[in-house]
């Protein structure tokens, strides 16, 4: 028998919100020092949170990372080896674990873990209107979202109270954050269509109130946003693209050729989407309860944006594998951990464990206070046959100071001393002087 909310979650167990974006690089924020980024709401969040500045994704590609994030099990062990593999319908996720502790669970936005037709257009309604059946929604008690489709404007949503996809007008981050904010705002006070005035002809997206009194139940919500994923030239809720000539490029972007021109062009739109999504996230944060909520902001992977002459993700370089990770509200005592930076080697794989820990404690512990492994594992379990993506299977380990990446056959591909070469401009994999260090790092693979 499922235990009650009071006995499972404990009196005073926190609400927990994960905000998960796509292709948002760790360095691409005002609080991270990026002069191109206008992210005032995330800057304010960082000022009251722990900034895990060395966080990495376990797999720098969407479905692999999403499956790992939800299950706490890396790919392909979680069942997702290929880009088009669905998460197995019987996979146990964080939603199952928290529901067993008495939490109400809800998911909003991009899923990207159901079956897709590889022959269908990647961008557009073919994938955006795929219906994810209830038994493939990861165990969430409420689910409102879309499979994929990369429609950054006017997304199609379906789910718990929308059996067929319905198109909602507006910028995707605004639409998804508004839906999540409405659910959070109305939780425990019955059913409401408040806020749906501009889509009055559409069905309500509420599910019925739980038989367990919501007023005494904590909630766990994932808000999954596609932006700032390409197409970067898509409208960004009225935010104009930056002048491409004014974009400040990192030193590891080759100058004077096609890579620089493309990087400037794409980054102009990229930073517009960052600003628009920052604004949408800010409105969502404004709707949260004044206290008692742990907030996580992150991304499933980054984007190369011309670094080393490469684009998109799947690569083991910093621009692809490092992600933002802010955690607010998980501290041992009032005022501790506010606006602090941690350089601990952490991974999105840690979030599953941290979240279960937070759910079991009236006062969530600061994850920064826990012992850490020295290295974090990163990998690409398969080659994604899409333009500009990484051309090989690889696995590696990373710490704030070092990164070793090996090919599928175990031969070294990349070795960087990040403490001396943060832009990864000197590959030491074939340097005889590094052979002992490389051999020592292999034990972490």
Each residue's pLDDT tens digit, 234-247: 999 999 999 999 99
For position 388, what pLDDT does the model report? 86
- What are the backbone angles phi and psi of residue 412, rounded to the nearest 5°? -60, 135
pLDDT above 90: residue 26: yes
pLDDT above 50: residue 8: no
Q: What is the mean pLDDT of residues 279-292?
A: 93
pLDDT above 70: residue 202: no
Quickly state the pLDDT bin for 291 (edges 50, 70, 90).
Answer: confident
- What are the backbone angles phi and psi of residue 50, rounded to the nearest 5°? -95, 125
Asked, as a colleague might, if the bond just before 345 is cis with ω within 30 of 0, I would say: no
pLDDT above 90: residue 120: yes
- Measured between alpha carbons, how far is 130 from 421 in angstroms, rounded to an integer? 44
Q: Could you give the angle at which helices 258-286 and 172-186 cross, rounded to 10 degrees?
A: 20
User: Assign residue 389 a region: left if phi > 0, alpha if psi is -120 to 50, beta otherwise?
Assistant: beta
Tokens of 333: 């005592």
For position 369, what pLDDT does the model report? 44
pLDDT above 80: residue 143: yes
For position 194, what pLDDT does the model report? 31
For position 201, what pLDDT does the model report? 34
- Strand-pair partners of 372: none
- Measured between alpha carbons, how far is 277 from 37 in angstroms, rounded to an integer? 12
Tally of CB atoms within 10 A around 313: 29
Lowest mean pLDDT among 79-83, 279-283, 387-391, 432-436: 387-391
Q: ∠ CA(313), CA(107), CA(94), 5° rounding?
A: 80
pLDDT above 70: residue 249: yes
pLDDT above 90: residue 62: yes
- pTM for this structure? 0.90
Per-state percent for the chain, helix, strand, coil, to nearest 5:
30, 20, 55
pLDDT above 70: residue 139: yes
For position 56, what pLDDT does the model report? 98
Rg (CA), the chain: 21
- Domain architecture of the chain: domains with CATH: 5-376 (3.40.720.10)
- Measured between alpha carbons, how far is 306 from 302 in angstroms, rounded to an integer? 12
Distances (CA, A) of 41 to 13, 17, 31, 185, 281: 26, 16, 10, 20, 7
Tally of CB atoms within 10 A around 148: 21
The DSSP element (H or E) to which 220 belongs, if any, is: strand 219-224
- Strand-pair partners of 377: 397
- Strand-pair partners of 255: none
Tokens of 180: 């999540």
């Amino acid at each position: 028998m499922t235990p009650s909310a009071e006995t499972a979650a404990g009196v005073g167990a926190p609400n927990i919100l994960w905000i998960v974006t796509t292709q948002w690089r760790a360095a691409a924020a005002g609080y991270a020092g990026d002069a191109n980024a206008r992210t005032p709401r995330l800057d304010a969040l960082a000022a009251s949170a722990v900034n895990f500045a060395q966080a990495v994704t376990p797999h720098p590609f969407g479905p692999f990372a999403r499956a790992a994030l939800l299950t706490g099990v890396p790919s392909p062990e979680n069942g997702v080896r290929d880009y088009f593999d669905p998460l197995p319908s019987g996979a146990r996720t964080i939603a199952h674990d928290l529901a067993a502790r008495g939490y109400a669970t809800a998911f909003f936005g991009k899923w990207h873990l159901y079956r897709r037709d590889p022959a269908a257009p990647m961008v557009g309604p073919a994938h955006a209107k795929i219906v994810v059946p209830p038994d493939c929604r990861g165990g969430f008690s409420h689910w409102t979202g879309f499979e994929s489709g990369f429609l950054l404007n006017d997304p199609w949503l379906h789910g718990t109270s929308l059996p067929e996809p319905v198109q909602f007008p507006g910028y995707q981050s605004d639409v998804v954050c508004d839906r999540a904010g409405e659910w959070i705002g109305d939780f425990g006070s019955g059913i409401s269509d408040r806020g749906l005035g501009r889509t009055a002809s559409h069905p309500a997206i509420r599910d019925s109130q739980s038989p367990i009194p919501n007023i005494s139940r904590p909630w766990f919500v994932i808000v999954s946003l596609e932006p700032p994923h390409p197409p970067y030239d898509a409208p960004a809720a009225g935010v104009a693209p930056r002048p491409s000539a004014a974009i400040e490029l990192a030193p590891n972007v080759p100058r004077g050729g096609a890579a620089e021109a493309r990087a400037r062009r794409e980054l102009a739109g990229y930073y517009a989407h960052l600003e628009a999504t920052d604004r949408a996230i800010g409105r969502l944060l404004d709707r949260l309860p004044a206290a008692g909520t742990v907030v996580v902001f992150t991304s499933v992977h980054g984007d190369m944006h011309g670094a080393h002459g490469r684009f998109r993700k799947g690569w083991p370089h910093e621009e692809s594998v490092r992600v933002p990770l802010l955690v607010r509200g998980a501290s041992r005592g009032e005022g501790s951990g506010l606006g602090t930076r941690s350089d601990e080697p952490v991974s999105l794989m840690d979030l599953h464990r941290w979240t279960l820990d937070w759910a079991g404690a009236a006062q969530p512990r600061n994850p920064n206070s826990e012992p850490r492994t020295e290295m974090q594992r990163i990998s690409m379990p398969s080659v994604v046959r899409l333009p500009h993506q990484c051309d090989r299977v690889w696995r590696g380990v990373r710490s704030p100071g070092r990164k070793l990446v090996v090919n599928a056959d175990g031969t070294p591909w990349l070795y960087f001393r990040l403490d001396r070469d943060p832009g990864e401009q000197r590959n030491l994999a074939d340097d005889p002087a590094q052979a002992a260090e490389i051999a020592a790092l292999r034990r972490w693979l």
